[in-house]
């Protein structure tokens, strides 16, 4: 995992020396509320649990998630000051799953960050696509896609860029 560290100081500040992520995956009927980083160290067991809830449910495949993608997700959640967990629309996608999805939708990228476990599509009942995307964009820490018609936001830890309406 790991890889090149991205300069995003806004992700490293917060309420105390820990990072927490709250997720619900309705397709899998799974919920997770985990502290995955404490005092400068990632918690391996929590990272495994997070990767599990973000697995490719179509193929039942788990790939270890890139920590920076989780940092982006957690920081965006913290900026919105909500107790509600992010609802996972799409997490990891195997190359085969991604290819099958591309055949059905023009909105699926050929070299999607989802296939690298570096992207998550999420939504919140209490916040609009505009609000969620705004929180993510304010971090300047990766890609943010707005999918208003489908009611979700894409966040990744790739280059800073935005798309959608």
Read off the pLDDT of each residue in 61-90 and give the average, rounded to a whole number.
97
Whether the CB-CB separation of 26 and 87 falls below 8 Å is answered with yes
- Does 111 score more than 90 pLDDT? no
Nearest CA-CA partner of 91 in 40, 132, 44, 55 = 55
Per-residue pLDDT tens over the stretch 86-105: 999 999 999 999 888 878 87
Per-residue pLDDT tens over the stretch 116-138: 999 999 999 999 999 999 999 99
């Amino acid at each position: 995992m790991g890889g090149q560290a991205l300069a995003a100081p806004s992700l490293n500040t917060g309420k105390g020396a820990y990072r927490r992520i709250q997720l619900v995956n309705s397709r899998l009927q799974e919920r997770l509320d985990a502290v995955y980083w404490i005092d400068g160290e990632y918690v391996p067991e929590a990272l495994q649990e997070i990767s599990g809830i973000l697995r490719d449910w179509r193929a039942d495949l788990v790939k270890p998630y890139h920590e920076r993608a989780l940092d982006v997700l957690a920081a965006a959640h913290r900026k919105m000051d909500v107790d509600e967990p992010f609802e996972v629309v799409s997490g990891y996608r195997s190359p085969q799953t991604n290819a099958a999805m591309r055949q059905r939708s023009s909105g699926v990228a050929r070299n999607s960050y989802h296939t690298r476990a570096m992207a998550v599509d999420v939504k919140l009942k209490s916040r609009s696509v505009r609000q969620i995307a705004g929180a993510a964009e304010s971090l300047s820490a990766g890609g943010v896609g707005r999918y208003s018609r489908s009611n979700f936001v894409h966040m990744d830890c790739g280059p800073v860029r935005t798309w959608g309406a």
